[in-house]
Amino acid sequence: MGKAKQVSWRDAKVAPIIFVSGPEDYLADRAIRAIRDQLRKKDTGLEVHEIAASDYSTGQLDALASPSLFMEPRLLIISGVEKCSDALIDDGLALLENPQTETTVILRHNSSSVRGKKLVDAIRLSDAAIEIACAKIDKDSDKAAFIQAEFAVAGRKVTPGAVRALSDAFADDLSELAAACTQLLSDQSESIDEAMVDKYYGGRVETNAFKVADAALAGKSAEALALLRHVIATGADPVPVVAAFAMKVRLMAKVYGNKYASASTVGAQPWQIQRAQKDLAGWSEEGLAEAVMAVATADAAVKGMERDTVFALEKLVLLLSNRGQKNTEV
């Protein structure tokens, strides 16, 4: 008995059976698109069939995968295997026993359930299959690595400041982050720096939110309040502003008193750890504890617990500007 080869989503390649697993849909879509493009490049007459696993009917896989009269290549994309029917499990197991040379079958499972485990286990033990794992990209270190790789693959340089600015600007949407990288790559500059990112995306709420947080943590209360009021005046949602503070304070709490803090121990890039260490200058353990609680209070306020969300945000800015001390007034 063989074993399916594990392949990175960036190195997606054609195989008789391709199992695309994991929760990161954007990476899965990139991998599937790359496979489809490879097959079309080889034969422009490629037939593509898309099937929802939950709607699968008995015999459908065999009918579509069987060789046609003219031997046209086929690509079958079966989505939502985490919701598959028993019929798909049975037919999938049969296909593993007799994969078709002119047909490529992609099975997409987002790992949200154990449904189809019998089929998944069999795929992973088949030497006719490969698995493309698409793990969630949610840690700052993962996003930074993704950004760096996007530019490296294109043979372009990106500065640490630009990586940080992009990660801040597109904190919650990987597809938007990738699109931003693509847009920056279309610029003719040899190296992508922070100024260029600010030129394209400096107006995003997330970007301005981090500018507020950076000013507050640097002790520049007047500048931070001015930036905050500008962000709110433009009609921006206050939730991303609190999220920026939360991200900063959370990392500071992880780094505080930890002289061995590293990317692997705190889940952040070296430059982020260095920034957190710089931000911690003058902070006490008690002040940091106050900051953590203040961020939680502000988060609740902007999500409906208080009517005056601006006042709650201003209190947070002043507390952080004063390194967790409460002896300031708005």
Question: Is residue 148, in this structure, part of any structural domain at all?
Answer: yes
Query: Per the structure block, which two tokens stand in for 296?
Result: 């939680």
**Cβ atoms within 10 A of the Cβ of 121, count?**
10
Residues 196 and 234 in one domain: no
Residues 98 and 197 in one domain: no
Residues 306 and 252 in one domain: yes
Checking if the pLDDT of 204 tops 80, the result is no
Chosen domain end from 101, 133, 165: 133
Reported as a single tens digit per residue, the pLDDT across 131-164 is: 999 999 988 889 999 999 999 999 999 999 999 8
pTM score: 0.70
Q: What is the DSSP letter of 82?
A: G
Between 191 and 120, whose confidence is greater?
120
Q: How far apart are CA 130 and CA 10, in angstroms?
A: 14
Contact 84, 113 (CB under 8 A): no
Question: Is residue 99, in this structure, part of any structural domain at all?
Answer: yes
Question: Could you list the residue range(s) of the whole structural domain that residue 163 is in?
Answer: 140-201
Query: Per the structure block, which two tokens stand in for 295?
Result: 């961020």
**Residue linked to tokens 């920056």:** 184
CATH number at residue 316: 1.20.272.10
Residues 109 and 145 in one domain: no
CATH number at residue 46: 3.40.50.300
Question: Is residue 76, in this structure, part of any structural domain at all?
Answer: yes
Residue 210: predicted pLDDT: 84
Contact 147, 177 (CB under 8 A): yes
Residue 138: predicted pLDDT: 83
Question: Is residue 326, in this structure, part of any structural domain at all?
Answer: no
Using alpha carbons only, how large is the chain's radius of gyration in Å?
A: 25
Query: Per the structure block, which two tokens stand in for 195?
Result: 């100024």
Mean residue pLDDT across the chain: 88
Residues 213 and 315 in one domain: yes
Question: Is residue 328, in this structure, part of any structural domain at all?
Answer: no
Residue 310: predicted pLDDT: 86
Predicted confidence band of residue 69 (pLDDT cuts 50, 70, 90): low
Chosen domain end from 74, 101, 133: 133
Domains of the chain: total:
3
Reported as a single tens digit per residue, the pLDDT across 71-102 is: 789 999 999 999 999 999 999 999 999 998 88
78 pairs with which residues across the strands? 51, 107
Residues 209 and 93 in one domain: no
Of 236, 250, 253, the closest CA to residue 313 belongs to 236
Residues 222 and 305 in one domain: yes
Residues 10 and 59 in one domain: yes
Query: Per the structure block, which two tokens stand in for 330?
Result: 């708005």
299 contact partners, CB below 8 Å, separation of at least 6: 239, 242, 246
Give the percent of the chain with pLDDT over 90.
Answer: 55
Residues 13 and 115 in one domain: yes
Query: Per the structure block, which two tokens stand in for 47?
Result: 């037939």
Q: How far apart are CA 204 and CA 117, in angstroms?
A: 42
Mean pLDDT in residue range 182-194: 84
Residues 240 and 281 in one domain: yes
Phi, psi values for residue 106, rounded to 5°: -105, 125
Chosen domain end from 159, 175, 201: 201
Q: What is the DSSP letter of 107?
A: E
Of 316, 319, 282, the closest CA to residue 296 belongs to 316
Strand, coil or helix: what is 122? Answer: helix
Question: Is residue 78, in this structure, part of any structural domain at all?
Answer: yes
Query: Per the structure block, which two tokens stand in for 257?
Result: 């008193």
Q: Is 81 exposed, middle or buried (0-12, 13-18, 19+ CB in 10 A)?
A: buried
Q: What is the DSSP letter of 68?
A: P
Residues 154 and 99 in one domain: no
Query: Per the structure block, which two tokens stand in for 242?
Result: 């609190």
Residues 285 and 243 in one domain: yes
Q: Sign of dihedral through CA atoms 316, 320, 322, 325?
A: positive
Q: Is 200 exposed, middle or buried (0-12, 13-18, 19+ CB in 10 A)?
A: middle
Question: Is residue 327, in this structure, part of any structural domain at all?
Answer: no
Query: Per the structure block, which two tokens stand in for 148?
Result: 């760096």
Checking if the pLDDT of 2 tops 80, the result is no
